[in-house]
């Protein structure tokens, strides 16, 4: 289903929920959310409850006069709208809800942060004709967006977009080099490499969330194929060792030690004294250690390479100088990833993005013919700028007071204080279902208060320029 169709599906679902004849549906949805939220987390039980509820509600839709005469596509849209609404409401309750998942997220992210410092395409047996690191950045960026969304489908779209970029690049490379069409043997190693370099936040929890709460009837076809490959990539990375990346054991351990020291240096050098998070959200790593001259010479970055003319008597001075250089030369990619993690943990996103009033604009706010592409590019640019600013420990350039106040007022109408990422302006449609609910029999006020603040605003749909989800129902 295309992105525009999913948005219209949610809008149509909310419109129908405003009808008097939908009162029983609204009451059932609210009761499920309240009852579910009062239970302690149990991932397997939670998944079964949600899947059963979605299936029952969709079956009821088909038999109800509100959807009489509707096509299969319209019924599918209603199902998408229901899933998006329910899972946005339950997101904070079910995402990374148990300590084991959080621990695995941290371990996986730290491992990727280390290995990405030295892994090369040839370590994963990616043939030279298929190596295209500059273009792979596009796939990395798609994967890194996964935490900007709450609905299972929207998170899945980030994975699908990443995989489609890789598939298209491999196909073009095979045509250019007159190689055989690429298959799984060519695709999976590139996906693993892209995932290592992207180090998407909370990858383990995001994959479990999709697996548990995406309606099983829609996790089929192309979506199922690419999602299975991403699960394989995660499994490979979790168990990665020297043998897995065709590297000598001693060289692997030396590279890992060097990567730990480098990341520790970056973390210390860019620490924001005002940050409430230790290491600005970076994972704890070992203190910098002295490295052998060979390990430093093997690194391709001249900024951290030990001069060959240094004598053994000066070894200590050289090691100290090398460590200083390491702390002063973090890469832009490291800083951007660090800042992005900090943004996702911000309590007041409206203050962070308040200086950028057009970040939350909808397509209808602008009139030029190419507004859609322009708006998406602008949003990505702003997100990257703020991420880098946060990573450097500095504030984004403020606007004059009047403009800042106006933009903050606008941002407050488009961001739910409980949300973890920038959202689109779909307030009106989602507020309307709350108004409808006010006319119904209420659950107890105490239970209402737990879950019935203003409806979470609709998350941004996946980038409009991406290929449609033709097989993703």
Quick one: tokens of 377?
């590019």
Would you say 418 and 93 are in contact if contact means Cβ atoms under 8 Å apart?
A: no
Would you say 170 and 187 are in contact if contact means Cβ atoms under 8 Å apart?
A: yes
**Per the domain annotation, does 73 fall within a domain?**
yes
Please indicate, yes or no, whether residues 189 and 224 belong to a single structural domain of this protein: yes
CATH number of the domain that residue 37 is part of: 1.10.246.120
Greater confidence, 146 or 311? 146
Q: What is the DSSP letter of 464?
A: T
Q: Which residue has the tokens 């796939």?
A: 139
Please indicate, yes or no, whether residues 118 and 233 belong to a single structural domain of this protein: yes
**Per the domain annotation, does 67 fall within a domain?**
yes
Would you say 215 and 51 are in contact if contact means Cβ atoms under 8 Å apart?
A: yes
Using only the alpha carbons of the chain, give its radius of gyration.
Answer: 24
Q: Is the pLDDT of residue 49 over 70?
A: yes
pTM flag (> 0.85): no
CB atoms within 10 A of CB 271: 14
**Per the domain annotation, does 282 fall within a domain?**
no
Range of the domain at 132: 99-250
**Per the domain annotation, does 240 fall within a domain?**
yes
Q: Which residue has the tokens 């692997």?
A: 252
State the chain's mean pLDDT as an integer: 73
Please indicate, yes or no, whether residues 77 and 127 belong to a single structural domain of this protein: no
Please indicate, yes or no, whether residues 200 and 214 belong to a single structural domain of this protein: yes
Report the sign of the C-alpha dihedral through residues 41, 42, 45, 46, in that order.
positive
Q: How many CA atoms lie within 13 A of 153 on its CB side?
A: 34
Phi first, then psi: give them for residue 32, nearest 5 degrees: -65, -45
Quick one: tokens of 326?
């390491």
CB atoms within 10 A of CB 248: 10
**Per the domain annotation, does 177 fall within a domain?**
yes
End residue of a domain, out of 32, 59, 94: 94
Listed range (5-19, 160-174, 235-249, 438-452) with the worst mean pLDDT: 438-452
* pLDDT more than 90, % of the chain: 48
Question: What does the alpha-carbon distance between residue 244 and residue 237 come to, in Å, rounded to a whole number?
Answer: 9
Phi first, then psi: give them for residue 346, nearest 5 degrees: -65, 140
Please tell me the total count of domains within the chain. 2
For 239, counting Cβ atoms within 10 Å of its Cβ (0-12 exposed, 13-18 middle, 19+ buried), the class is: exposed
Q: What's the pLDDT band for 416 if we cut at 50, 70, 90? A: very low
Provide the phi-psi class of 122: left if phi over 0, else alpha when psi is between -120 and 50, else beta. Answer: alpha
Q: Is the pLDDT of residue 460 over 50?
A: no
Residue 378, pLDDT score? 72
Would you say 78 and 12 are in contact if contact means Cβ atoms under 8 Å apart?
A: yes
End residue of a domain, out of 50, 69, 94: 94
Q: What's the pLDDT band for 55 if we cut at 50, 70, 90? A: very high
Question: What does the alpha-carbon distance between residue 48 and residue 45 come to, in Å, rounded to a whole number?
Answer: 5
Question: What does the alpha-carbon distance between residue 372 and residue 4 come to, in Å, rounded to a whole number?
Answer: 12
C-alpha dihedral (340, 343, 345, 348), degrees to nearest 10:
-170
- Reference 268, options 284, 257, 253, 254; nearest CA is 284
Average pLDDT of the residues in 381-396: 68
Q: What's the pLDDT band for 293 if we cut at 50, 70, 90? A: very low
């Amino acid at each position: 289903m295309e992105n525009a169709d999913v948005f219209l599906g949610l809008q149509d679902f909310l419109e129908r929920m405003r009808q008097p004849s939908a009162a029983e549906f609204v009451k059932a949805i609210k009761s499920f959310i309240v009852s579910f939220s009062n239970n302690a987390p149990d991932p397997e039980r939670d998944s079964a409850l949600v899947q059963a509820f979605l299936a029952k509600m969709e079956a009821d839709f088909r038999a109800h006069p509100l959807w009489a005469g509707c096509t299969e596509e319209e019924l599918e849209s209603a199902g998408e709208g229901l899933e998006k609404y329910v899972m946005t409401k339950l997101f904070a309750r079910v995402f990374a809800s148990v300590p084991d998942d959080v621990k695995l997220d941290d371990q996986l992210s730290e491992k990727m942060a280390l290995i990405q410092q030295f892994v090369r395409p040839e370590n994963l047996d990616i043939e030279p004709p298929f190596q295209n690191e500059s273009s792979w950045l596009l796939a990395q960026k798609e994967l890194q967006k996964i935490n900007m969304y709450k609905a299972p489908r929207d998170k899945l779209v980030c994975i699908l977009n990443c995989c489609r970029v890789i598939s298209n690049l491999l196909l073009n490379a095979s045509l250019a080099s007159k190689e055989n069409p690429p298959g799984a043997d060519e695709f999976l190693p590139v996906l693993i490499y892209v995932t290592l370099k992207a180090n998407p936040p909370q990858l383990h929890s995001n994959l479990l969330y999709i697996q548990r709460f995406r309606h099983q009837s829609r996790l089929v076809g192309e979506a199922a194929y690419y999602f299975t490959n991403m699960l394989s990539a995660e499994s490979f990375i979790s168990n990665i060792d020297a043998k897995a990346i065709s590297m000598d054991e001693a060289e692997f351990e030396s590279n890992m030690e060097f990567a730990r020291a480098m990341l520790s240096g970056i973390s210390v050098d860019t620490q924001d004294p005002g940050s409430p998070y230790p290491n600005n959200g970076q994972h704890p790593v070992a203190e910098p250690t002295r490295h052998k001259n060979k390990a430093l010479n093997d690194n391709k970055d001249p900024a951290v390479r030990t001069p060959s003319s240094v004598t053994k008597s000066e070894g200590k001075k050289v090691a100290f100088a090398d460590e200083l250089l390491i702390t002063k030369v973090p890469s832009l990619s490291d800083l951007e990833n660090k800042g992005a993690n900090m943004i996702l943990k911000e309590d007041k996103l409206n203050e962070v993005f308040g200086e950028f009033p057009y970040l939350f604009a909808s397509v209808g706010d602008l009139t030029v013919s190419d507004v859609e592409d322009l708006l998406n590019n602008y949003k990505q640019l702003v997100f990257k700028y703020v991420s880098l600013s946060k990573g450097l420990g500095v504030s984004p350039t403020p606007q004059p007071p009047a403009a800042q106040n106006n933009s903050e007022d606008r941002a407050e109408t488009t961001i739910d204080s409980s949300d973890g990422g920038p959202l689109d302006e779909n307030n009106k449609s989602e507020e309307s279902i709350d108004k409808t609910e006010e006319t119904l029999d209420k659950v107890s006020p105490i239970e209402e208060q737990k879950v019935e603040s203003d409806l979470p605003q609709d998350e941004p749909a996946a980038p409009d320029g991406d290929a449609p989800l033709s097989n993703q129902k």
